[in-house]
Amino acid sequence: MHYILAIDQGTTSTRAILFDRSLRPVASGQEEFPQHYPQPGWVEHDPADLWATVAGTAREAMERAGATSDQIAAIGITNQRETTLLWDRATGQPLHRAIVWQDRRTADLCADLKAAGHEPMIRERTGLLLDPYFSGTKLKWLLDNLPGARSRAEQGELAFGTVDSWLIWNMTGGKVHATDATNAARTLLFNIATNAWDADICALLDIPMALLPEVRDCAAEFGVTRPDLFGGVSIPILGVAGDQQAATLGQACFQPGMIKSTYGTGCFALLNTGKDRVPSKHRLLTTIAYRLNGQTTYALEGSIFIAGAVVQWLRDGLKLIREASETQPLAEAADAAQQVVVVPAFTGLGAPHWYPECRGAVFGLTRNSGPAELARAALESVGYQTRDLLEAMRADWQAEAQGVLRVDGGMAASDWTMQFLADILGAQVDRPVVTETTALGAAYLAGLQAGICPPPEDFAREWSLQRRFDPEMAEDRRTIIYSRWKRAVAATMSA
């Protein structure tokens, strides 16, 4: 058993990475898949695309490494969270496209639930806000809008799941309908204090509990793959975590006060709060960081909807670049005297604002503003939004937070962006040797359950720094430009 296979099913692409027993990446496969936008503010994925890219990239990674299924000790899964699927238990066929976490179609429903006074109860039990981001209102929309869906759900004919459950179902040939505690905690239906589905919230949303998967630890038995899937030998699925929680594990943020921030399609910062379930007074989320051996570790989380997606907007929307890597030289060439600010609220603003109705805006344009200035402002927006999150975290967390931010994800590869992040935060930013920490976290969970990987405290000692970015910006400059950002956000929200 030479390898651990990590499957990282993301919002715009799927990646599979084969790690050796020392958790060094050996080979990988990656494939993008289509995004569907049937109406403004709606975002969907074809469930068949999610499954096909997982199977395809896993086989590709195995082929590149020359690995066979009998050489793989375990599979770990990490996934885009909150994305909602509903399928037929008998046939395995989805009833609708997956409704993606970015989708805003249930904004009116969330507003109605808030107006009726339900948010305090939901927040106390789930740690979440009433926002279209989460799975519960998406599932209600499916049951309300698909003919016969609710009656079939009540009869036990249908299954709900986030992407991890969908993949486990397909990998095991429909034998296992399960999720882990971190994904369950993002549904709006899971009580993070009792670690169980909440019957009251399900009743409020008129969701039959027969739909829901079994909730297990992050490192646990999730069944075995169909023998024919990867070449004749079944592989055990031993680790599952939502992408941001997997990145927290991959960054070895096991101690209370440690913070990591992942820069993918969105940006997600997690602060480990240990055994303390810290309620936020600054509109952050209280969530489960991980659950191992039945013990729950909590976190404060700030969610930014648009991070790497702002670079995709430059590429696909404005056609200013052909490759994401072009943004750094453009930003370096931008006129420093210009004051262009991009507020990338393309699907609303996430934490700490939680304003789903507002949309993106650009401020400070002049006749001399061009691609370079827009590219710089787009990259800077990620740093500004991160500071918004970390200021809210420091206000909520009474204990001493560590003064270092560990970063990962695609945008972490940009030296310019990471230096600006350190500058605007006034804090050290650490980039690890292995920046694919989401997949690393999934592999670690699977290896831990398989008895291959060391316990968390030993794994933490193996974390390696690739580069540290120290703040270089003067404090008065930092104050001025961050104030400009806050004015731009306020104007965007009032438009």
Is 312 marked as a binding-site residue?
yes
Q: Check: CB of residue 293 under 8 Å from CB of residue 403.
A: no
Is 428 marked as a binding-site residue?
no
Nearest Cα neighbor of 138 from 95, 198, 76 is 95
Element (H, E) at 70: none
pLDDT at 326: 85
Is 82 marked as a binding-site residue?
yes
Burial of 476 (0-12, 13-18, 19+ CB in 10 A): exposed
d(CA 351, CA 358): 13
Q: What DSSP character marks residue 173?
A: T
pTM of structure: 0.87
State the amino acid at position 494 in one-letter form: S
Helices vs. strands in the chain: H and E counts, helices first: 16, 22
Q: Please give the class, per CATH, of domain 252-494.
A: alpha beta
Q: In CATH terms, is domain 3-244 a member of 3.30.420.40? A: yes
pLDDT at 304: 83
Q: In this structure, is the dihedral angle defined by the CA atoms of residues 392, 395, 397 and 402, taken in order, positive or negative?
A: positive
Helix axes 107-115, 119-126, angle to 10 degrees: 110
| Rg (alpha carbons) of the chain, rounded to whole number | 22
Q: How many CB atoms lie within 10 A of CB 58?
A: 27
d(CA 78, CA 14): 10
Is 81 marked as a binding-site residue?
yes
Is 15 marked as a binding-site residue?
yes
Q: Check: CB of residue 209 under 8 Å from CB of residue 199.
A: yes
| The CA-based dihedral angle spanning residues 443, 176, 82, 425, taken in that order and rounded to the nearest 10 degrees | -20
Letter string b/e over residues 69-104, b meaning 16 or more CB atoms within 10 A of that residue's CB: bebbbbbbbbbbbbbbbbbebeeeebbbbbbbbbbb
The DSSP string of 329-350 is HHHHHS-TT---EEE--BTBB-
Cis peptide before 120 (omega within 30 of 0): no
Q: Left, alpha or beta for 440 (phi > 0: left; psi -120 to 50: alpha)?
A: alpha
Comma-separated ranges of CATH 3.30.420.40 domains in the chain: 3-244, 252-494
Successive 10-residue mean pLDDT values, the chain, 495 residues? 92 93 92 92 95 96 93 96 96 96 92 95 94 94 96 95 97 97 97 96 96 97 94 93 94 91 87 91 91 95 84 86 86 90 86 81 91 91 91 81 81 90 94 89 96 92 91 93 94 87
d(CA 241, CA 179): 9
Q: Left, alpha or beta for 127 (phi > 0: left; psi -120 to 50: alpha)?
A: left
Is 265 marked as a binding-site residue?
yes
The token pair at 346 is 């393309």
Is 150 marked as a binding-site residue?
no
Residues forming a β-bridge with 72: 3
d(CA 106, CA 115): 14
Q: In this structure, is the dihedral angle defined by the CA atoms of residues 37, 42, 47 and 50, taken in order, positive or negative?
A: positive
Q: Check: CB of residue 223 under 8 Å from CB of residue 176.
A: yes
| φ, ψ of residue 381 in degrees (nearest 5) | -60, -30
pLDDT at 308: 81
Nearest Cα neighbor of 27 from 76, 52, 81, 64 is 64
